[in-house]
Amino acid sequence: MDWSPFDAVLFDLDGVITPTAVVHLHAWTEMFDEFLAGWGKKRPFTDADYVDYVDGKPRIDGVRSFLHSRGIELPEGEPDDPSSAETVVGLGARKNLVFNEVLRRDGVTAYPGSVTLLDRLADTDLELAIVSSSRNARQVLDAAGLLDRFEVIVDGNVGADAHLPGKPAPDYFLHAASQVGCAADHAVVVEDAISGVAAGAAGDFGLVIGVDRGAGADALRTAGADVVVEDLAELLPSAPERQADETSS
């Protein structure tokens, strides 16, 4: 791929850099299945529910979206609701506890192809940013040994502080572009979630790359992906774009 027309690359985290989407899926499934059992709902949370209602969204938006799909109404709750609270916020806190338990127990290893691409892009003038709805993005990057690879991290904590609407709205990505000093049409968005690809398309970014980790290439293209790959190693530049100055003696 020719990266020279662009000034920045804005990466989603879960499912793009690290396989933590699987950890999130397990955490959401465990939390919602326990909750649904208490409501007498026999149909469990499914992988399709994760893709359709949760993946790529801020945690509270995901809770709200899934509950709506099942016709369940809960009080919104307060920002400091504990995980025991039967509120939207409480369920979000409950899911976060499960996620962090799994992360502490099992750790996380980045996709090899993603690390290879990051290594090659380090030899360019591109600014690299993480754009994730997760409030745990820094912990995940630290666990994967990649925290120092990104100039800017726009995560769920930044989004909440800045009152940014979550994906599929483009605001998270637009905020990251502004933080690295890049116009949207000179930035690349790399996403695996349908909502994230839709956010990139809505923001009129220079290029939207969909990473097919299970959402389906057709679904990613329909959401607005210009290019779809299965692994970030497919995007390697043909040669380093910034050569070290050569001196002669």
Is 218 part of the annotated catalytic residue set? Answer: no
Q: Radius of gyration over alpha carbons of the chain, in Å?
A: 19
> Tokens 């400091």 identify what position?
80
Decide if 171 contacts 164 (C-beta within 8 A). Answer: yes
Which of the residues 2, 7, 14, 155 is marked catalytic?
14
Element (H, E) at 21: helix 20-38
Residues contacting residue 179 through CB under 8 Å, at least 6 positions apart:
129, 152, 154
CA-CA distance, 135 to 99, in Å (whole number)?
11
Q: What 3-state DSSP class applies to 145? A: coil
Among 2, 7, 12, 161, the one annotated catalytic: 12
Scanning the structure block, which residue is given the tokens 């996709």?
Answer: 111
Q: Tell me whether residue 226 is one of the annotated catalytic residues.
A: no
Burial readout 69-93 (b: 16 or more C-beta within 10 A, e: otherwise): eeeeebeebeeebeeebebbbbbbb
Closest CA to 95 of 81, 109, 107, 108: 81
Q: Which residues are catalytic?
A: 12, 14
